[in-house]
Structure 1
């Protein structure tokens, strides 16, 4: 509820706090009603409770770091963020609206892992088994009965759009209802420049995010040990039953080039895992978690690279130049 009768002095202090947050790197725990400057949470923050931005990197829209990165032109947007020191390390169009492709599945996975029992079973619907001819899939068929846990591996490793739809229908009953949950969840993280209309990242002009918003989403996802365990896996064997009751075994493989061995991270950088995404509209995308020589966690993001080689070339330059 709104605090409409608070003293003007407190209101002025709150306004100054909000303005300062736009220009200062700071940190804060999440609060309810984060966008109402006169909410009880802001008043409580004034009385000693942590503010929203006390544990996140806060920055403005000024680019920096490109002078030290020769391949910055290979992608439209990129950023690097030190999770533990709360510093923005590299900034390239952090707030530009871009298509996330399958990095969308980070948010899908977070919602499921945060709210569901991974031992639950899901019966795959016709729609989930037929996500479209151009979709990346993990091979689900209508009538398959599979655990939520195995679906999450199919979602994040094999980047299965079929798994994304199956999870959305399991959680919310429909893609549309799940998209509502996605948007509410993203906004609760402060990701206010995003809009999601599906759980997979299939192209849609109304499905978009920014590098900074994806940093906020990913930083919440990696707070879940179960999420990190999945994205750090090279492969996962899933066993489930088909519509006839027969046993099916599939091996899901991570699409991150660092985990497949196709690309090597710079010295003193240890890659934990991440999520790739590729469509014609989005280009080549990667959201990555790694550790530097000080064991500090680094989130690095490249969006809309022109090709896979461009993607990893720029990512390596950002990591080698700014992660340590």
Structure 2
């Protein structure tokens, strides 16, 4: 009995000690935590992982465990969204390597050097971006502010949803643009996003206008933004293709690449804080101690809200190739990391760069007409034909499946005769204009199986020349490409059109008369020429007949010899051994 009581008392004491220790640990965590990260989001807040295991830290707000993304009960049946069964559009391209199905609602892999989309699933579908919005915010900040500028925070830093990730900035606190950018991209701090927006544009709404303007300049056709952070709003949306264009533009900035490649960063004490803020990069594919680490990953941005689900942008480099992968409405952070790893491997392993034949950076009128001055003919070169009619930007490099023959790559203009995008099809506009195209420029796309694999910008210049027909009907023609020419452009075009049709009509009306005059003047020469042509044809026919007869005789002799050989073989096969030996003895006697 005594032993039983001792055992019960021991269990009670141990339970009390464990409970006390747990409470102490929770309080210690709350005291040390100076940064509220987006790993602990509740409902409709920007986050990098879906909230799963929530533990108490002794405060009124819940904190998500660092291991929450791996804590799914293995005994539960895995949830597979309906989007997993939706088709991958690039799998329909003839000769294209088959990409795997993904659980994300939309996904894209784009070559950053050629703009080619090597993997596409629902890339035009309108979806919420969540915190990956901050990539565009960072790009605009780097374009409009100096890293050493000082931000004085306004009350906008408090304009956040409950539990939205932040670094606890205060009104009146001063922080450098550099520190705010690291808080934005590493810790996904929404208060830093608002502080940057107000610093650059004066207000969050004005900054949103700047975001939409930039998106349009980059060729985005679906996106619309209302805040710099990605916090939920029905009017804040994008698509995979648009965000790949935004991500590509950001990655061209060296300071942006440095931002996303940083694993940890410390913000020193400010005028209103005594402690440093330590920031950690939430993108686990860049963290060497993560299960999702991938050495091709050079950085990226994570995101989560209840309406957006998990979103992920990842940049990768390998063997001289640079890719970006964008996943929207993904089924959890772990699944997004796994799918991104597989898609980047697919892009690096299955595709290669080839150089098209066209290396010219400008085209003259002579080039367009196929006129080439060789040797002494260079003395006849016309200044008019040397005029530049077009300039070409871009390397002419394309991204195609490994093993593709260069001759299989075709060209297509950005706009057809009806003014519409020639690459718009069943899935919407597959590929927009190159981001750096100017209003006076057009674009030429390289395609493989109808799918764009690269592009170049083409600018057209005004050309003045005097054209003379074979019948000495001359007309001065001016080709105009740009606005701002002297005179009304529409009126000039109408007059040019009328003049051209007058010349054509006059030419057609006098065509029969010119033909008759030509016959009368050159009758003898025409008859002799036709006679010579007929004579040559007859000689060719005669030669062919002679050769054909000779070949027939040779084939006949060969056939007879073959028949004789087969006959003798047959006779030998039909004779007995005794008969053959007798013939041999007779032959030896004759010798």
Instruction: Note whether the superposition's TM-score is higher than 0.5.
Output: yes
Alignment of 1:1-324 (within 5 A): 63-65=89-91, 68-72=98-102, 74-243=103-272, 247-260=274-287, 261-264=289-292, 270-292=296-318, 294-324=319-349
Q: Residues 239 and 249 of structure 1 are in contact (CA less than 8 Å); yes or no, is this contact kept in structure 2?
A: yes
299-308 or 147-156, larger mean C-alpha shift = 299-308
225-234 or 128-137, larger mean C-alpha shift = 128-137
Q: Residues 292 and 338 of structure 2 are in contact (CA less than 8 Å); yes or no, is this contact kept in structure 1?
A: no
Partner of 2:533: none
- Note closer, same or farther for the CA distance 1:250–1:92 as it changes in structure 2 (3 Å cut): same
- Note closer, same or farther for the CA distance 1:254–1:64 as it changes in structure 2 (3 Å cut): same
User: Deviations 1:134-158 (Å, cap 9, x if unpaired)?
Assistant: 3111232222210011000000000
The structure carrying a bigger helix percent of its residues is 2
Q: What is the aligned length?
A: 258
Q: Distance in 2 between matches of 1:263 and 1:192?
A: 36
User: Deviations 1:247-271 (Å, cap 9, x if unpaired)?
Assistant: 44111111101123424356xx611
Q: Distance in 2 between matches of 1:220 and 1:85?
A: 13
Q: Distance in 2 between matches of 1:229 and 1:278?
A: 23
Partner of 2:17: none
Question: Please, what is the CA RMSD of the aligned residues?
Answer: 2.0
- Note closer, same or farther for the CA distance 1:65–1:251 as it changes in structure 2 (3 Å cut): farther
Q: Distance in 1 between matches of 2:298 and 2:322?
A: 9
Shift of 1:242: 3.4
- Note closer, same or farther for the CA distance 1:68–1:309 as it changes in structure 2 (3 Å cut): farther
- Note closer, same or farther for the CA distance 1:142–1:65 as it changes in structure 2 (3 Å cut): farther
Q: Distance in 1 between matches of 2:249 and 2:108?
A: 17
TM-score (norm. length: structure 1): 0.75
Shift of 1:314: 1.3
What SS does the corresponding residue of 1:171 show, helix, strand or coil? helix
- Note closer, same or farther for the CA distance 1:143–1:121 as it changes in structure 2 (3 Å cut): same
84-93 or 296-305, larger mean C-alpha shift = 84-93
Partner of 1:38: none
Which structure is larger by alpha-carbon Rg, 1 or 2? 2
Q: Distance in 1 between matches of 2:187 and 2:293?
A: 21
- Note closer, same or farther for the CA distance 1:62–1:307 as it changes in structure 2 (3 Å cut): closer
Q: Distance in 1 between matches of 2:98 and 2:326?
A: 17
Q: Residues 99 and 119 of structure 2 are in contact (CA less than 8 Å); yes or no, is this contact kept in structure 1?
A: no
Structure 1: segments with no counterpart, 5+ residues:
1-60
User: Deviations 1:184-215 (Å, cap 9, x if unpaired)?
Assistant: 01100011210000000001110000100001
Shift of 1:295: 2.2
Shift of 1:323: 2.6
Q: Residues 313 and 326 of structure 2 are in contact (CA less than 8 Å); yes or no, is this contact kept in structure 1?
A: yes
TM-score (norm. length: structure 2): 0.42
Structure 2: segments with no counterpart, 5+ residues:
1-86, 350-591
Q: Distance in 1 between matches of 2:271 and 2:101?
A: 47
Q: Distance in 1 between matches of 2:269 and 2:159?
A: 18
